[in-house]
Amino acid sequence: MLFFYHTCLYCGKGINPERLQALPETKICKDCAEVSGSDLILPRKEVGMDPETYKDLLGAIRS
């Protein structure tokens, strides 16, 4: 039987089961999440342009 023990990828400490229930995607503990500013291990990658710029680009392509 496999036993998944979730440990923080940053500090190696166990992640609070309640935290895992609330955030099943998380791979880091609450302390590290506070330090990194994100509950997920990877920072969200943005496209590199804001939505308004993106709309302008779409408009430019269509015209």
Q: How far is the CB of 28 from Zn ion (least distance, A)?
A: 5
Q: How far is the CB of 45 from Zn ion (least distance, A)?
A: 22
Nearer to Zn ion, 10 or 20 (CB): 10
Report the interface residues with Zn ion, using CB under 5 A.
8, 10-11, 29, 32
Nearer to Zn ion, 4 or 46 (CB): 4
SS (H, E, C) the chain: CCCCCCECCCCCCECCHHHHHHCCCCCCCHHHHHHHCCCCCCCCCCCCCCHHHHHHHHHHHHC
